Amino acid sequence: MKALIYGSFFESINENTPKIDYERVLDKNARFKDPFHDVNGLDNIYNIFQDMYKKLDNPRFKIIEIIEENNIAYIKWDFIFNFKNSIKEESFQGVSRVEFNNDRKVISHIDYWDSAENLYEKIPLLGSFMRFIKKIIKA
């Protein structure tokens, strides 16, 4: 149940979501980790998402699957977005391991997704280079 509420929160957030909404689901000392960040504290987490809304157009999450047992949940999601000033919609999938405290608030949110394939390869010049490297390494 905790994970369903948290998943709904992520599907609904946008650039106008006030910090108080984050406070309803995240502990003030929560940890957030993804391939680019590893921070503690609600303010730092809120700032990461606000920065995302500045750097991308129309970023949003679609929850695909939730598995929850006791205070741990695994949430599979699609992240959908446009690079700034691009009409092409991009997306990729990831999984989050989320841990809740006894107050039903998130104390740890760790994302697992491939930044090379899901972002770097979508950037025009860098993407060509990354695909070339993968081709060389591939058996």
CATH code 3.10.450.50 for 2-114: yes
The pLDDT value given to residue 34: 93
Q: In whole angstroms, give the CA distance from residue 116 to residue 43.
A: 27
Q: Which position has the token pair 């999984």? A: 95
Angle at CA 114, nearest 5°, toward 78 and 24? 50
Q: In whole angstroms, give the CA distance from residue 136 to residue 139.
A: 8
The pLDDT value given to residue 118: 47
The pLDDT value given to residue 21: 97
Q: What is the pLDDT along the chain (139 residues), one digit of tens a residue?
A: 799 999 999 999 999 999 999 999 999 999 999 988 999 999 999 999 999 999 999 999 999 999 999 999 999 999 999 988 889 898 989 999 999 999 999 999 999 987 555 454 555 555 555 455 556 555 5
Contact 30, 105 (CB under 8 A): yes
The pLDDT value given to residue 114: 76
The pLDDT value given to residue 119: 52
Any idea where the domains of the chain sit in the sequence?
Answer: 2-114
Amino acid identity for residue 59 in this structure: P
